[in-house]
Structure 1
């Protein structure tokens, strides 16, 4: 068999691996050149490294290293072409270290080139003198070198391609991007591994177009996708589309397809592109949209809130201002007294609005808390009943009550909040009832830990439609538009009632018929207690507190006048300081029994002043410091207590709380004088 045919038979044998082909070529070369050692080498820096070897010498193995200068290959590489000699001892090579060390007489070799670089050599040698090499032998060894160079180049390209594929595969996995290809002639569909993972498709299975189309969430999405494919085929334009699909396992995901076309002879033969799982992006986008809608709604509600509150506050403010102005020039004392009483009523309405807004603010910030104390439910309910007997002055409206409370109605309860629930429900009934009856039923049912209090407030008022019932407990909602415009109010009352009931672990139910009236049922559980309420020394009228030395620390001149007038009712002539520094000076010069301290002042605020008074011991041990503040939150009260204040009076100051404070200080003074 000729050399070329034998060579071709080896390199074209598809049953052999590349390593096996190289090994077979080395054996074949030894036969062709009648030599004993065959080596494929690689040059690394100044080292000669054996990659493949065919020899009986056991010392010659792959990965063996030699100094390049001690090998015949150094001459081949310098010459950059095939070299050969058959009797080294009779040539200039006889002085070369390779001949001295290994006594190799015969050698033929050629450089292996991979691209523009020289990898190493393929060489054949023997310690025996061979027949002289011919030009054909040179051609043969160069053919070996060329084929080896091509194979190594192919291997290198494959390695780069494999690395790129692995990198691409990793990037696809990280970005959740796969690739796809659809052959339009055969309808054969290809999905990359990542595309299969996106669809929960088995790695070793082959997807079909029918399967792909069956995964779309709905027919509309499927038609959108098919239109994109059809348009791309007709126009040859790239396209991109986002649709919702189901994976093979039934999981719903959002995917983004990018597609392009491939043409041959003017005909579209293939569609291909990328596919990406964008579920998280879509969900984030939808979340941001929802947050934007909520933010816009909050802004709208805020604007409406400010507008509503502004309108509601202007009405009592107008009453206060107008009635006081008219009283200035009024000669008739009865009319003047009536004006002042109406102005006070307007002030009470304004204070109620402010309290509603503060309660709503606490609810919105989840800052509304309860302060349970021993409470006699019977007394709490009877107080409300007596109040509304006086308030319902319309002769066409009857106020009916049915109170059934057990003998043991001493419970742990926030009586202020319970009163707020009752008064809001009754005020609501009173507002919308012009004739008929308002009924209040209160009943207690014993439970294993206390009682269940049932409150039923019903009326024969205007009633509510189903739409109004649906929004009844939403802030600022008052049913139909004409209701709010006709009856006024902030629309906060019922939302506050609902929040208070739920904070008390109760529930509220509503029944209503438009034009016939409404019924509110509230059920709240309370734990009973054996603690009895001490009789409070209530001061229903002014008393003599002239023995008290009182300092009022207040920067507002009007508030100073108010406190001065209030204290004079109790025969107290007070001193005044407009800021904390002046207060410190006055306390260092005079011993005060009671200091009323405004919280927010210029120069030195109330908290700082209180701390300095206590640290410098400028007050007698029995003295009380009472905060005057418009801030009524639990945090503000806690801050006052932490600073060392004994009590807090909320602005606007009422006579009853003021009387109680003065009474307590008088008692402290008596105890101090006894000592």
Structure 2
């Protein structure tokens, strides 16, 4: 068999790997040349490294390294062509280190070129003198070197391609992007591993176009899918669309589908592109869209609320202002007294509006807390009944009550908040009922730890539509628009009621029919207690507190005048300071028993002034500091106490709380004088 035929037989054998083919060709070369050593080498710098070897010499193994200058291959690489000699001892090569060290007489080799560079050599050698080499021998070793160069180049390209594929595969996985290709002639569909993973298709299974189409639940998305491919076939324009589909395992996902057409000889032969799972992005986008819509609705509601609050506040303010102006010029004592009483009633209404806004603010910030105290529920209910007997003055409306609570029923309860719930419910019924009856039923049921208080408020008023019922407990809502315009109010009362009931671990149910009336059913659990309610001493009238030296630290002139008038009722002539620095000067010059301290002032605020007074010891040890403030939060009260204040008076200041503060200070002064 000729050299070429045998060579072709080896390299074309598809059952052999590249390594096996190299070893077969090395053995074949040894037979052809009648030599003993066959090596495929790689030259790295000045090192000669064996890659493949066929030899009986055990010292010659793959990865074995020699100095390039001590090998005959140095001459081959320098000549950049095939070289051979059969009797080195009879030639100028006899002085070469390779001959001196290894006594190799015969050698034939050729450089292996890969691309534009030289990898190494393929060479055959023997310590025996061989027959002279022929041109056929040189052709064989050069052909072998060329084939090796091609194989090494192909292997290098495969490694680069494989690395690129792995990089692309990793990128696909990280970005959740897969690739796809559709052969239009054979309708063969290819999905990358990531595309299969996106669709939950096992890697060993092959996708089909029919399978892909079956994953679209929405017919519109399926038609868009087909239309995109059809348009690309006709117009050669790439596309990018977002579609929703169902995966093999039944998951609903959103994908961003990219594609374009491939043409051969003017004919569209295939479609290819990428596919990305964008489910999280779409869901986030929809969430943000929903949140934006809610925010816009909230802003609209807040704007409506602010305009409504302004309107509601202007009404009592107008009453206060107008009645006071009329009282200035009116000489009739009865009319003046009536005007002042109506002005006070308007002030109470205004204060109620402010309290509603403050309560809502606390609820919004999760700052609404309870202050449970021993409370006789029977007395609390009686107080509410007596109050509303006086308020219902319409002769066409009856107020019917049915209170079934045993006497001296002591529970731990925030009576102020419970009263707020009842008065809101009854005030609503009173507002929307012009004839018929308002009924209040209260009874208790015993539990293991206390009682459950059942409250039923029903009326024969205007009632509510289903739409109004759905928004009843939402802030700023007040049923139909005409209801708010006709009856007034902020629309916060019922939302506050619901929050209070839930804070008390209770529940509220509502039934209503438009034009027939409404029914509110409330159930709240309370723990019973054996502790009796403590009756706070009440100062129903002013008393003499002239013994007290009082300083009022207040920057507002009107509030100064109010405090001056109030204190004169107790025979107190007070001093005044319009800011904290002036207060420090006055306390340095005079010993005060009581300091009323505004919280917010220019120059120096109330907290800073209090700390300075105490640190500099500008007050007697028995002196009291009482905060004057409109800030009612628990955090504010804690800050006043931490600064060293003894008590808090909330604005607008009532005569009763002022009397209690003065009484406490007098008692403290008496105790101090005893010592």
When the two structures are superposed, what TM-score results if normalisation uses the length of structure 1?
Answer: 0.98
Q: Is the 8 A contact 2:552 2:560 kept in 1?
A: yes
Structure 1 runs of 4+ with >4 Å offset: none
Q: Is the 8 A contact 1:542 1:659 kept in 2?
A: yes
- Aligned counterpart, 1:345: 345
- Residue of structure 2 equivalent to 1:415: 415
Separation in 2 of the partners of 1:259 and 1:534?
A: 81
Q: Distance in 2 between matches of 1:493 and 1:529?
A: 30
Correspondence for 2:17:
17
- 1:569 is matched with 569
Q: Residue in 2 aligned with 1:117? A: 117
SS of residue in 1 equivalent to 2:526:
strand
8 A contact 1:406–1:445 mirrored in 2: no
CA-to-partner distance for each residue in 1:456-476, whole Å, 9 max, x for gaps?
111111111111111111111
Q: Give the drift of 1:151.
A: 0.4
| 1:505 maps onto 2:500 in alignment | no
Distance of 1:399 and 1:81 partners within structure 2: 121
Q: Which residue of 2 aligns with 1:224?
A: 224
Q: Please give the secondary structure, in 1, of the residue aligned with 2:611.
A: helix
1:606 deviation in Å?
A: 0.8
Matches within 5 A, 1:188-587: 188-587=188-587
1:8 is matched with: 8
Q: C-alpha separation between the residues in 1 aligned to 2:633 and 2:277?
A: 50
- Contact kept? 1:553, 1:576, Cα under 8 Å: yes
SS where residue 395 of structure 2 aligns?
coil
Match of 1:609 in 2: 609
Distance 2:400 2:591 in 1: 55
CA distance in 1, matches of 2:655, 2:441: 32
The CA RMSD over aligned residues, in Å, is: 1.2
Specify the SS of the correspondent of 2:58. coil
Give the secondary-structure state (helix, strand or coil) at the position aligned to 2:622: coil
Counterpart position of 1:648: 648
SS at match of 2:457: strand
| In structure 2, C-alpha distance between the alignment counterparts of 1:670 and 1:522, rounded to whole Å | 48
1:622 deviates by 2.3
Q: Residue 41 of structure 2 corresponds to which residue in structure 1?
A: 41
Aligned 8 A contact 1:627 1:645 in 2? yes
Aligned to 1:407, the other structure's residue is in SS state: coil
Secondary structure (helix, strand or coil) at the match of 2:56 reads: coil
Residues 521-567 of structure 1: CA distance to partner in whole angstroms, max 9, x if unpaired? 11111111111123321111111111211111111111100000011
Q: Is residue 626 of structure 1 aligned with residue 616 of structure 2?
A: no
Shift of 1:590: 2.1
Deviation at 1:618, TM superposition (A): 2.2
Q: Give the TM-score, by structure 2 length.
A: 0.98
Between 116-125 and 443-452, report the one with greater CA deviation.
Answer: 443-452
| Alpha-carbon distance in structure 2 between the residues aligned to 1:658 and 1:649 | 7
Contact 2:373 2:533 survives alignment (8 Å) = no
Structure 2 CA distance for aligned equivalents of residues 510 and 103 of structure 1: 112
The residue correspondences of 1:84-99 to structure 2 (distance < 5 A) are 84-99=84-99
CA distance in structure 2 between the aligned counterparts of 1:230 and 1:240, rounded to whole angstroms: 14
Distance 1:406 1:265 in 2: 100
| Secondary structure at the counterpart of residue 195 of structure 1 | helix
**Higher mean C-alpha displacement, 388-397 vs 170-179:** 388-397
- Where structure 2 has 5 or more consecutive residues not aligned to the other structure, the ranges are none
Judge which range, 637-646 or 373-382, deviates more. Answer: 373-382
Conservation of the 8 A alpha-carbon contact between 1:259 and 1:274? yes
Which residue number in structure 2 is paired with residue 101 of structure 1? 101
TM-superposed deviation, 1:135: 2.2
Q: Could you say which residue in structure 1 is the equivalent of 2:172?
A: 172
Deviation of residue 408 (structure 1)? Answer: 4.1
2:63 is aligned with 1:59: no
Does the Cα contact within 8 Å between 2:77 and 2:111 map onto a contact in 1?
A: yes
Instruction: State the match for 2:50 in structure 1.
Output: 50
Distance 2:535 2:273 in 1: 86
Counterparts of 2:402 and 2:539 in 1: how far apart (Å)? 31
Count of residues in correspondence between the two structures? 675
User: Which deviates more from structure 2 when the two are superposed, residues 641-650 or residues 389-398?
Assistant: 389-398
Q: Helix, strand or coil for the counterpart of 1:217?
A: coil
